[in-house]
Amino acid sequence: MTQPDFVPTQPPVASDASEVDLPLPLTAPQRKPRLLVVDDQPIHLQVLHRALARDHQLFMATTGAQALKVCRNQAPDLVLLDVVMPDMDGFEVLQQLKAAPETTDIPVIFVTAHGGDEIETQCLQAGAVDFIPKPVNPSVVRARVKTHLTLKFQSDFLRDMAFMDGLTGVSNRRQFDERLNVEWGRAQRNGTPLSLVLLDVDFFKAYNDHYGHQAGDDCLRQLASVLKASLRRPTDLVARYGGEEFVCLLPETAFSDGMDMAHKLLSAVTRRAMPHHFSAVAPVVTISLGLATREGIGQTGRAEDLLALADAQLYRAKHAGRAQVCGQRLGAGPSHGQP
């Protein structure tokens, strides 16, 4: 029977009445955790589906290739992985997950009929976080999944804190640098566009000089809030790039859509109407923006090229009078636009 790349969960089913639910930590996301179950035997998928579907968003794969695709596209919080499969075994799947930056942190529990200390040791040494022998005990599976999701969410929380800008609460430069490399690699593999917007506050030195640095800090916090509210997709990223500069990373966003988003950001900041009576372009705080877009299939270059092009376009916008957007596709001529 042909299986799709992933199968969303069916309506929730009740668990054993005797089971005591283990609470997830306060750092858990406000959604059902995403689990990927990988097994080439439908009966095993059904057993795990019945055990886990109530409290999780469940995806299923029957081959290693399907599992890797789901991990890249759906970013599951945890993978339950069979060892023996027809196309590639679980150890090869795990090795490929660990080798890719966007999937390396996904924890994997091996679920296999091959028991014994030797195979369990091999699974753990390969990088799995746990080992569950078949036939599975549903209560044991649920308890171990809860435990490893708790550890995963706590780890994510600590990592997010390390990647957060202390002043504005958005991502910091370190997080942006990592995400840029990940999204560039994803765009190359999938042949999809990637847009990047670099922006800064017009005449911010004059703002700080006349209103004071505390007011300048508050201005940056308000600006970060406006930018974050304007980016609706969970895959979009806003980060503080340095000083009064911010960057917005827009995966799967073509040049025209990137220009639309840049103008939306420009308008949103202007509408916030933060007074700036020492600006030469407006009585309120404004921003200048540079857009760079990597097109889809066949696009060459490096992630650093995209950032450098956005920086060059930001310079053009400021040189042309500020409070405007300039943009360019990698390998194409520049465009200029004002709302």
Q: Which residues are catalytic?
A: 244
Annotate 134-148 with three-state secondary structure: CCCCHHHHHHHHHHH
Residues 6+ apart with CB under 8 A from 71: 36, 79, 97, 103, 106
What is the spatial distance between Cα 67 and Cα 97, in angstroms, rounded to a whole number?
10
Q: Which amino acid is at 326?
A: C
For 158, the token pair is 């600590």
User: Taking Cα atoms as reference points, which of 221, 296, 292, 301 lies closest to residue 261?
Assistant: 292
Rounded CA-CA distance 79/37 in Å is 6
Let me know if 26 is exposed, middle or buried by CB neighbors in 10 A (0-12, 13-18, 19+).
exposed
DSSP 8-state symbol, 130: E
